[in-house]
Structure 1
Amino acid sequence: MAVRLDPDVRREYPRIAPRLVLLVLSTVFTGYFVNAFMHVQAAKAEPAVLVSAVVGLAALAFLQFRFLSNPHADVRGRTGLLALLANAALTFGGLALYGQGWTAMVGFFAGSAVLVLPPVVAWPLFGVVYVASGAVQWTIDHNPLHVAYTANLVMVTGLIVYGLSRLRSLVEELDEARSALAGTAVTQERLRFARDLHDLLGLSLSAITLKSELAHRMVPDRQDDARKELTEVLDISRQALADVRSVASSYRELSLDGEMASARSVLDAASVTYALDAESTGELSPKVSTLFATVLREGVTNLLRHSKAERCDVTISSAGDVVFIDVVNDGVREGGDGTHGSGLGNLTSRVEALGGTVTAGARGDGSYRLRAEVPVHGGQPSESWEPAPARREPRIAPRLATVLTAAVLVGYTISALILVWFSGISETAVLLSMAGVVSSLVLVAAYFSRPGVGVRSPLGHGLLAAMAVITFTPIVVFDSPWLGLPGFLAGAALLVLPPRVGAVAFVGIVVTVGLTYTFHDVGLVDSGYGFIATMNIGLIVWGMTRLRAMVSQLHDARSELAELAVTKERLRFARDLHDLLGFSLSAITLKSELSLRLIGRDDQRARQELSEILDISRQALTDVRAVASSYRPLSLDTEKESARALLAAADIEVRMDLDECELPQEVRTALATVLREGVTNLLRHSKAEHCEITLVRGGDRLTMAIVNDGLVGHQEPGRDTAGGNGTGGNGIGNLTVRVADVGGTLEAGAVSADTYRLQAQIPLPR
């Protein structure tokens, strides 16, 4: 179920989220750069050295903000690699020139490497940098705690750089993906409407046409029979109007008994002998009953449109936990099998949604059979009758935020514990201070930073007050500014208190801690550390907590936005139905009533009205096809952008290389369909992490290829089976027909143990 966001909140999150992460990222990164400069200055460096340090830090900041942490930069391409190499030169060159004061910049390099390089290379490199930083510190003083502090500083800094940079790009990707996902939902809704028009109105309008023709012939000599046919035309037209409303409102439950009665009437009018045999199958679920009514309607519609049947037998039976419906007729045309049109494909998708199967085709005795079999209770399909796709939960955004937040909080806690150990107080004081640090971590991790927890409550205010006592008591009692984690308290104040009060409390805590360091006369660098560390930690606690909540709510909002888009599409489609079909069906109803009154009184006028009914009903059928077909053409450019956004939202790395060339609309539509089907299969049936989509013009052919990793199950290279990308269903078969319609060929299957390729080749028009 979609989470219902307040309208003001829905408008605010997309606007605030990217700005918030940029503000937090800029403030935190700037704090690191300022702290590094203060360390260089504290070493009493010459003015030239200070100037070089400023230039180096400015260059690092430019690389970080402009390329490495910019979601719009080509961070995984050549530009990102060059920026990382420049970062490495500045980082390790600076470390050689300025010493330990440059250590935090090593963390920036480690975090940037994870952003730029492939994970299989980046994370081992991150570990190497982590270990190497500790090893270098060991060569300096052989103090295990110093080694742990330095290595922990590099790790925490690297995770902060990676986490804030990645979350910034994820928030923007999610914001962009909402429109694409809503658009996809709208497209599915359009196709559903087109299918429902075919299923619900096609038979009704065909029956009206047939019965009007019959009544037209009967008026002079068989007036009672003509009145009977017109009465049935009236009933059908009224039901068709109800069907129009049902399509628009998505209420589509059909009566099996009503459809059987309608089938008898229509077959009678077409002079088709029939037998309807519905043996006792027990109580069918509404879904199964509606489905069988749809099968019966489709079977009779196909009979009227595509056969020369003289007899039709309808049988409903059961065997165990399965129920069957068979629609058999003897009118298979020479060279045909009755499978014209898209109705059978639509019907198949509906039956499969209930866990059943459809078979249709000519038999050896010259008859044609349509059979559907489904479980008695028919499963639990969605209201749209679409087969429920495998829900592909986002694999990185919420999890990344949670894991990184936990890692950073623990990292800060480790640093605080090391500082407590080196503070020079008694063992009892050390133990009590450490208990306070761990208590602060527990409060932040278990309560204040958890998305969805109502921290602005009496309990939240009480725990914030308790945390203030835990934080400042050791500092006051043991007279040392190095005790506790005041940054955690500052971040919690921003989360618990109203914005203005929280901002004042945040500044107050930062200033208080900084002054505490200053009053203890610990030097400029350490005083600066008190200010900067408290500010940075507070902003990270607040920012990452808010970002975790926003990422989760943006994911949930996608469903709601898709629902809103679908609702809007339904309203627009309802207007189309009203404009195109409402008048026609109302006119048929009125003219049928008039014809009934005229028969026997003015037969010539009655026949004229019947002729007009025929014209209207034929035009209404044309309108149905027009409304339905207007939703079919696809835009290759739109599908390309939709695919890019969908894959990015699913955290699948995608590379697109599509040649720009002028193509006929039918070719562009075929390619757009291939792209949509390929991405749909990938999302539903694989665990892909990488995807490459190419469209290449070579000689007299166009070749589109969609290649991805992450096959599910075993699939031999070169074979197209039901494993891998799930190509055992109808999607690839339907796609093959579409590509063949424009003279092309389609290939799909595994090309290696972990790689799947869908490839379409289409000849270029001369």
Structure 2
Amino acid sequence: MFFEAGSPGRSAETVPGPRVARVIVGLVMVAFAGVYVLAAPSRTEGAARAGAAAVLAVAVLLAQLVRVVPRLERWRGGWTVLVQGAAAYAGVIAFGTSVGILGFVAGSLLLTRAWPLAAGVVASAAIIDHLRNGASADVTITCLLTALVVYGLVRLADRVGDTAAARLPLTLAAAGRERLRIAAELNRALGDGLQAISAGSRRAVERPEEIGGVLAVARGTLNDARAAAADFRSMSLAPEVTAARALLDAAGVVAEVRGGHREPLGPAGALLAMVLREAVTDVVRAETARTCVIETSEGGGLVRLRVVNDGVRTAEQGAGGLVEAAARVRAAGGDFSAGLGNDGRFAVEAAVAAGERPVSLPDRAAYRLSLVLLAAVLAGFSVKGLLAVPWGPEWPAAAALLLLVSATQLFWAGRGRPGWWPLILAVLGFAPVPVFGQAWLGVAGFLAGTFLVGLPRRASVPLVAVTMAGVGAGARMLGLGTASVVNYVVSTLVTGLVVYGLVRLARLVRDLQAAGEELARAATVQERLRAARDLHDLLGHSLAAILLKCELARRLADVDPARSRQELAEIVDMADQARGDLRTATGGDAELSLEGEVASARSVLTAAGVEVEVETGLEHPDLDGRVSAVLGTVLREAVTNVLRHSTATRCTILTGRDGDAVRLVVVNDGLDPDAPRTPPGAGIGNLTTRLASFGGTLSARADGAGYFRLEARIG
């Protein structure tokens, strides 16, 4: 058998929290105490003495549970170990309790890092057993294994709690690190450009010949901002997949998305986003597809993208628009292919090295600890079993089979479902019993552990009961007495709980670490997407407006110097505002207001030759600051689209209340109804996300011949 009457065990289940981990550990401790309580009548004469031995065993258990139950934390201290030691030694010396119970005391001392005292307790157990029975090796091993199991169970349960508690701080730290990284990148790339624009504009007021230099800097800074926004968005394929699905839906193509990669992607994201964009644009442009599947996967250090549609008739037709995408993927060391499959559908496939992740993988220290402890338990069990096998021809065979059992159990421990392992362990657990006798009865405990870890409770519990019954039947067939039969049956359960606890608690720590990693990844992605939105919506607009003002100032320098100087003065103010936008993009608070953006929109659109009409029905001072800021952002994006994507000559801006709701409407006459479909930009998606956080909605659609209408509502 694995444990004598009265050894501790260990239990853990892959469950989503520290509380369950504590319950599992407590359950195993109770199971151990039950072994000693059940053994009391057979080891102590008289009901009173047996009752006293049982009470002392319960006292040892209660002292151990103080280390497990959070509500008993205030009772933890050196005195609990003293009480536990007194109860354990009293039971062993005065009432004949198995010296294996001293393993609880040794385990508690290990938890307090009193290693020499723990070793002393194990040595005392060996001495007591030698004086009592003339043998010490078997019981010494039992006591040592008990101490290791107690120590490992409690430490793993503590690790579960620490890991769960650390997830939120680690997530916030990941977002903070990403924010600092973004700030360093943007301040270095864009801060100097904005400073140069501001200083150059001031000089150009007196020296108009320098306007060209300011214009060049503004154009370069705008390109840098757009490139940075694209880079931040490429950390995640999610925005590109969302845009692709929207484009396919608008074209009447049924889109199916199957995501199988981890985010953020890092540099691989930019390449795959570009491939996805080009592939989907070609699908829509052909206007023959009915379905399109977008699939991602990850493995072997590669991230893979696959886009399949049923609208391409020849491989040459499908690959024609993907030459540049193929070249860029291959230049980066990736693989690219495009062609017709056996099913007649056209598939575009790209594979790129995943590269370094912005968020590290969870460490496996706790999992390694559990495997080391399990290996120690298996080694101790094997030695105990071999001590019970007489030396002779059978001994090498027993050693080889026990080594096979241990290797099988360790190899299986790192896997999920048990597969064929229960069958293998069942054969190894029961077939050798007629040969090796009672020395082999304890092997079935590992079979019970396999059932508990690898199968649902509705299947594992009956199978464990059958295993225990099989052990009892085998013990009876070997002619053992009732006390020994009960001892072996209960020890089978305890051994199974030990395996269950070691493996399950470790997997729980691993799962919690993985969940924390996913939260940190999500925080990193969201921080990057937030920066991309702010760059696009805030800084992009400011730089586009500055660029427009610079062009206007240069044209007016000779024909209307006074107006040119006025435009340059406005550029200085706009550059100062852009620096505020840069602070927002790097994690600062937005300093926008709807009222200020209405005035800015009027100025910028008028400078571009667009007739502007403003109708306001809002009392801006009474408008909530956050609502005013988000509507100001919407207006910025709308004006940017008028300047960049249309041939508008007239733009109407309406603000007002509709009951409790606040609304902003921007209408322009620059829509070309005959223009081909193009992939949606990031702006509309960004604004939809911003408004949704305030319970708002956004609609953007054609509104009559040549008119485009954007409406935002909050409330």
Please give the range of the TM-score, normalised by the shorter of the 2 chains.
0.5 to 0.7
Q: Which residue of 1 aligns with 2:229?
A: 245
User: Residues 448 and 173 of structure 1: is their aligned pair in 2 closer, same or farther, counting only changes over 3 Å?
Assistant: same
How far 1:151 sits from its partner (Å)? 0.8
Q: Which residue of 1 aligns with 2:25?
A: 25
User: Residues 478 and 608 of structure 1: is their aligned pair in 2 closer, same or farther, counting only changes over 3 Å?
Assistant: closer
How far 1:176 sits from its partner (Å)? 1.9
How far 1:456 sits from its partner (Å)? 4.1
Q: Distance in 1 between matches of 2:202 and 2:394?
A: 101
State the TM-score, normalized to the length of structure 2.
0.57
Q: Which residue of 1 aligns with 2:90?
A: 93
User: Residues 244 and 444 of structure 1: is their aligned pair in 2 closer, same or farther, counting only changes over 3 Å?
Assistant: closer
Please show how residues 212-361 of structure 1 align to structure 2 within 5 Å.
212-219=201-208, 225=209, 228-229=212-213, 231-242=215-226, 244-245=228-229, 248-249=232-233
2:110 corresponds to which of 114, 130, 135: 114
Q: Which residue of 2 aligns with 1:161?
A: 150
Q: Which residue of 2 aligns with 1:470?
A: 428
User: Residues 482 and 616 of structure 1: is their aligned pair in 2 closer, same or farther, counting only changes over 3 Å?
Assistant: closer
User: Residues 611 and 247 of structure 1: is their aligned pair in 2 closer, same or farther, counting only changes over 3 Å?
Assistant: farther
How far 1:180 sits from its partner (Å)? 2.4
User: Residues 474 and 624 of structure 1: is their aligned pair in 2 closer, same or farther, counting only changes over 3 Å?
Assistant: closer
Q: Which one-letter code corresponds to 1:81 in the other structure?
A: G
1:129 corresponds to which of 93, 96, 121: 121
Question: Which consecutive residues of structure 2, in runs of 5 or more, have no partner in the other structure?
Answer: 1-11, 236-266, 268-354, 590-715
2:162 corresponds to which of 166, 173, 179: 173
- SS of the equivalent of 2:136 reads helix
Q: Distance in 2 between matches of 1:439 and 1:240?
A: 63
Q: Which one-letter code corresponds to 2:35 in the other structure?
A: N
Question: Which consecutive residues of structure 1, in runs of 5 or more, have no partner in the other structure?
Answer: 1-11, 220-224, 252-286, 288-380, 632-766
Please show how residues 459-498 of structure 1 align to structure 2 within 5 Å.
461=420, 463-476=421-434, 480=438, 483=441, 485-495=443-453
User: Residues 90 and 408 of structure 1: is their aligned pair in 2 closer, same or farther, counting only changes over 3 Å?
Assistant: same
Q: Which residue of 2 aligns with 1:565?
A: 523
Q: Distance in 2 between matches of 1:587 and 1:619?
A: 11
Q: Which residue of 2 aligns with 1:51?
A: 51
User: Residues 620 and 14 of structure 1: is their aligned pair in 2 closer, same or farther, counting only changes over 3 Å?
Assistant: farther
User: Residues 405 and 79 of structure 1: is their aligned pair in 2 closer, same or farther, counting only changes over 3 Å?
Assistant: same
User: Residues 247 and 196 of structure 1: is their aligned pair in 2 closer, same or farther, counting only changes over 3 Å?
Assistant: farther
Query: Given that residues 588 and 613 in structure 1 are in contact (C-alpha distance below 8 angstroms), is that contact kept between their aligned partners in structure 2?
Result: yes
Q: Which residue of 2 aligns with 1:641?
A: none
Query: Given that residues 13 and 500 in structure 2 are in contact (C-alpha distance below 8 angstroms), is that contact kept between their aligned partners in structure 1?
Result: no
Q: Which residue of 2 aligns with 1:413?
A: 382
2:99 corresponds to which of 103, 107, 119: 103
State the TM-score, normalized to the length of structure 1.
0.54
> Alpha-carbon deviations, 1:307-352, whole Å to 9, x = none?
xxxxxxxxxxxxxxxxxxxxxxxxxxxxxxxxxxxxxxxxxxxxxx
How far 1:111 sits from its partner (Å)? 0.4
Q: Distance in 2 between matches of 1:190 and 1:625?
A: 11
Report how many residues are paired.
460
Q: Which residue of 1 aligns with 2:264?
A: none
How far 1:561 sits from its partner (Å)? 3.6
Q: Distance in 1 between matches of 2:234 and 2:425?
A: 54
- SS of the equivalent of 2:76 reads helix
Q: Which residue of 1 aligns with 2:486?
A: 528
Q: Distance in 2 between matches of 1:230 and 1:443?
A: 73
Matched-pair identity in %: 30
User: Residues 392 and 477 of structure 1: is their aligned pair in 2 closer, same or farther, counting only changes over 3 Å?
Assistant: closer
User: Residues 72 and 399 of structure 1: is their aligned pair in 2 closer, same or farther, counting only changes over 3 Å?
Assistant: farther
How far 1:172 sits from its partner (Å)? 1.5
- SS of the equivalent of 2:374 reads helix
How far 1:413 sits from its partner (Å)? 2.0
Q: Which residue of 2 aligns with 1:402?
A: 371
Query: Given that residues 472 and 484 in structure 1 are in contact (C-alpha distance below 8 angstroms), is that contact kept between their aligned partners in structure 2?
Result: no
Q: Which one-letter code corresponds to 1:68 in the other structure?
A: R
Please show how residues 618-633 of structure 1 align to structure 2 within 5 Å.
618-625=576-583, 630=588
Q: Which residue of 2 aligns with 1:83?
A: 80
How far 1:28 sits from its partner (Å)? 2.5
Mapped pair 1:442 → 2:407: yes
Please show how residues 497-512 of structure 1 align to structure 2 within 5 Å.
500-512=458-470
> Alpha-carbon deviations, 1:715-759, whole Å to 9, x = none?
xxxxxxxxxxxxxxxxxxxxxxxxxxxxxxxxxxxxxxxxxxxxx
> Alpha-carbon deviations, 1:490-542, whole Å to 9, x = none?
22344555664444322211222134335656334322212211111112223
Q: Which one-letter code corresponds to 1:94 in the other structure?
A: G
Query: Given that residues 63 and 83 in structure 1 are in contact (C-alpha distance below 8 angstroms), is that contact kept between their aligned partners in structure 2?
Result: yes
How far 1:210 sits from its partner (Å)? 2.4
How far 1:582 sits from its partner (Å)? 3.0
RMSD over equivalenced CA pairs, Å: 3.7
Q: Which one-letter code corresponds to 1:436 in the other structure?
A: L
Q: Distance in 1 between matches of 2:404 and 2:533?
A: 61
How far 1:34 sits from its partner (Å)? 1.5
> Alpha-carbon deviations, 1:201-242, whole Å to 9, x = none?
2211122112322333245xxxxx366345425424533533
User: Residues 89 and 494 of structure 1: is their aligned pair in 2 closer, same or farther, counting only changes over 3 Å?
Assistant: closer
- SS of the equivalent of 2:480 reads coil
Query: Given that residues 41 and 47 in structure 2 are in contact (C-alpha distance below 8 angstroms), is that contact kept between their aligned partners in structure 1?
Result: no
Q: Distance in 2 between matches of 1:545 and 1:383?
A: 28
Q: Distance in 2 between matches of 1:48 and 1:111?
A: 29
User: Residues 182 and 441 of structure 1: is their aligned pair in 2 closer, same or farther, counting only changes over 3 Å?
Assistant: same
Q: Which residue of 2 aligns with 1:198?
A: 187
Q: Which one-letter code corresponds to 1:416 in the other structure?
A: G
Q: Which residue of 1 aligns with 2:280?
A: none
Query: Given that residues 418 and 450 in structure 2 are in contact (C-alpha distance below 8 angstroms), is that contact kept between their aligned partners in structure 1?
Result: no
User: Residues 464 and 39 of structure 1: is their aligned pair in 2 closer, same or farther, counting only changes over 3 Å?
Assistant: closer
Q: Distance in 2 between matches of 1:25 and 1:13?
A: 10
Please show how residues 602-641 of structure 1 align to structure 2 within 5 Å.
602-625=560-583, 630=588
Q: Which one-letter code corresponds to 2:94 in the other structure?
A: L
Q: Which one-letter code corresponds to 1:42 in the other structure?
A: S
User: Residues 383 and 92 of structure 1: is their aligned pair in 2 closer, same or farther, counting only changes over 3 Å?
Assistant: closer
> Alpha-carbon deviations, 1:527-576, whole Å to 9, x = none?
22122111111122233123334444545555444332221222223334
Mapped pair 1:149 → 2:118: no
Q: Which residue of 1 aligns with 2:178?
A: 189
Q: Relative contact order, CA 8 A, sep 6+: which one is greater?
A: 2
User: Residues 595 and 417 of structure 1: is their aligned pair in 2 closer, same or farther, counting only changes over 3 Å?
Assistant: same
User: Residues 86 and 227 of structure 1: is their aligned pair in 2 closer, same or farther, counting only changes over 3 Å?
Assistant: closer
How far 1:599 sits from its partner (Å)? 4.0
Q: Which residue of 1 aligns with 2:707?
A: none
